[in-house]
Structure 1
């Protein structure tokens, strides 16, 4: 459940394994041994019912791996075996991710369907000057916050609610000046649904907000208007409470919005704690609170604890994980304890728990041991917020799902959205270096005490109130529902 990135970096020097001669089959055999001997889900995933299917696949992958010399081919062959387990916490990490390559003709076909406007920066600037009195506020020249893109935005001739954002200078033979980078459809004043096109011309739909001279395509890009000169510019309050990716925003007198960072952020607990501290007055004086954890992949389970006092109506209990006590899992935890000696923040937070688990594991080798529960006690229930809504989607995963399950111990909590990803049954992920290619294999040392009665993997948490895909502004939807 902890930050996997942190764990991988932490253990690289301790658990790496190297040989002068390398082969794909060495990686497979090494990974299989580590998983079979240490993965907490092994006994749940390999059963008499699927044993024959597993044995057949294992034999096929092993025979194929013996013949493979190409790293990329090896990765995708081994991935077939890993996919059998249907556990997103069980995987191989190559140094550089291997993408599934598409044929140039497929990419060219997508490109041909995307609009090409007859403008460059000079001609579009002239157009804007000649039509300035007729322009919508969103029309003009905008520059991305990282200076990577300068785009023009122009209203569609046939649809007054549609706008096209296009690049103003050639970038490569496929991306010429005038090629649409995104298309926006206005759904409310200063709100749009945007289809953004990536380098390979694949599209992604996102919600977009126009805030004075800023255009925020959520989770993708922010643009700053450079021409015509904006009549109104954002101030520091806008930057902190409306434009920042992770923020606490007062939506109206009754409702506040908390947008949390991914819990994989290296300093997520400290970041959220500071965010809560700086916005204490908003949290204490607003009856309805929306916590947006859409697209949150999980990470550090300490990342959200500073919000628990505003959520809870009584003590919230975090159940201890059920650890598989093996020699190599004991080694992993010992190395982690050694490594965090140099990191006071992690040492204070993690060492007591790890030492208790280690003691139990050493006394019960070959068995499963249960870590201690952690109680977040509450003295007095805060009068505000009175309702706490969680906004989730299919990419809300792992520790973010744990956050929801813990928050649902409060009578204030309502979950809105769609089923979450379903990636929280097998936990406490650690990794080992593989013999070849600099790859690492990651797996869970423990499983949730909810199992097997309340499994959520590959199913997810069902929201209390589902939001239809046809609903365009999910935050607005939740805000209105809370008022009811």
Structure 2
């Protein structure tokens, strides 16, 4: 089970020696690799109408790429091409801070305090601290667009961040915010983030210092991220309910395994379980270790559709080295889909506890987290609660970044189409919970506890 699920999420390191940062060369390389290796290409460029729109876009971008654009302008051209496919897994980025242009918007801390002193607690405005980066920023209104904000560096232990440097632009989008970061990386897709009370969840929690201070409960939550703990927590919000909080799967398998083993006896001794995966954008694995607590009867994890290509087949050959029949199908069907084997799962027996399980989900749940939710959401014990997830798992299986001629650009490509994509796609809508919660998100845990305690 671990092996099958992990195939969708692993991202490994890579190196490239040759360098060619000519924009047209890199655009053409990107186009070629996506047309042959991307599992969603044929779905996204399938009708005469979208083939025409695609061809026009490619022509326009090629013209722009020949005008000797700067590195930043070239990145925008490549990002425009990537974003045509509307796939949050398909991304290009610049992760070398030295290659991210520094933009300055001078602001002192005293000025920031003046600008934000009357900000409501429901607003993201204020002064924020990132404990891992030892970075302090001010988030103030952009002044140009409603619900738009900017983050400006006030203090940093990292000398690559300068006081007054523009760190991010933040735009409200429904229940979440899109964050375009300038400080340390560029991405073709602006990541999602959430402000909940005095915590700003953007992969790692920021805490607000001014004009509202974090509460003791919020301080306790931030503390669960210290010393590499990744926010993992397990506690009993009521005598009959245990809550396991997993805000990321971006950790080593051994760390997550040790956490589950440590709390296994408590989970097995408690009638009801809440698995809180809110804000969990995925990582290197999913809920495999939690399956025994959710299991009631044997089930099958449906295999996806592998995009057979010369490049992709090198990866698949490693995954299925012992399956000569499957490898032959991959070689014989270049340019087509080849089904992955299904994966049957069974345990000796269902556990007496937990009797019922709630999975709390929100709009920041993506990738490996969504895949896990898709697998377990219809289990007899399980009820999903919250709001629709991110919508990031119709195409998956990210491996080592795919090299293009300029190593400044890091490009990842999904090479497997999920089993549900043709019949019940999720990328545009996310996965809906069984019970939609309309109350403030800070109340959701209490609602889940109440729901479980009312079960018979």
TM-score by length of 2: 0.72
SS at match of 1:215: helix
* Greater gyration radius: 1
Q: Which residue of 1 aligns with 2:248?
A: 262
**Equivalent residue in structure 2 for 1:367, among 332, 336, 343:** 336
Does the 8 Å CA contact 1:209/1:217 hold for their aligned counterparts?
no
How far the C-alpha of 1:452 sits from its partner, in A, is: 1.1
Instruction: Report the TM-score when normalising by structure 1.
Output: 0.68
The Cα shift of 1:104 comes to: 2.2
The 5 Å alignment of 1:445-484 reads 445-468=415-438, 470-484=440-454
Q: Alignment partner for residue 377 of structure 1, among 338, 346, 359?
A: 346
User: What CA distance in whole angstroms lies between the structure 2 residues aligned with 1:466 and 1:396?
Assistant: 15
Which stretch of structure 1 is more off in the superposition, 92-101 or 316-325?
92-101
Structure 1 residue runs of 5 or longer lacking an equivalent are 117-142, 151-168, 176-191, 223-238, 338-349
1:307 partnered with 2:290: yes
Task: Tell me if structure 2 keeps the 8 A contact 1:195–1:206.
Answer: no
Does the Cα contact within 8 Å between 1:310 and 1:384 map onto a contact in 2? yes
The aligned counterpart of 1:46 is: 45
Structure 2: gaps (5+ residues):
119-128, 137-154, 166-195
Separation of aligned partners in 2, 1:96 and 1:404? 33
What whole-Å deviation, never above 9, does each CA across 1:350-394 have from its counterpart, x for those lacking one? 566887754431243332110111122022111111111111111
What displacement does 1:433 show? 0.8
Contact preservation (8 Å) 2:199, 2:207: no
Q: Select the residue among 96, 109, 113 that pairs with 2:115.
A: 113
1:248 is displaced (CA, Å) by 1.9
Residues 1:253 and 1:45: Cα distance change in structure 2 (over 3 Å):
same
Structure 1 vs Structure 2 CA RMSD: 4.0
Distance 2:385 2:449 in 1: 11
Over 3 Å counting, the alpha-carbon distance change for 1:197 and 1:355 in structure 2 is closer
Secondary structure, counterpart of 2:297 in structure 1: coil
Residues 396, 415 of structure 2: 8 Å contact kept: yes
SS in 1 for 2:75: helix
1:331 aligns to what? 314
SS of residue paired to 1:416:
strand
SS of residue paired to 1:67:
coil
Counterpart mapping for 1:200-239 below 5 A: 210=216, 215-216=219-220, 218=222
Q: Is the 8 A contact 1:433 1:440 kept in 2?
A: yes
**Distance in 2 separating the partners of 1:390 and 1:358:** 37
CA distance in structure 2 between the aligned counterparts of 1:286 and 1:5, rounded to whole angstroms: 31
CA–CA separation in structure 2 for the residues paired with 1:205 and 1:449:
48
Q: Counterpart in 1 of 2:27?
A: 28
* Count of aligned pairs: 381
| Counterpart secondary structure, 2:300 | strand
Aligned equivalents of 2:200 and 2:405: distance in 1?
Answer: 41
2:304 equivalent among 321, 325, 328? 321
Query: Residue 407 of structure 1: which of 338, 359, 376 is its match?
Result: 376
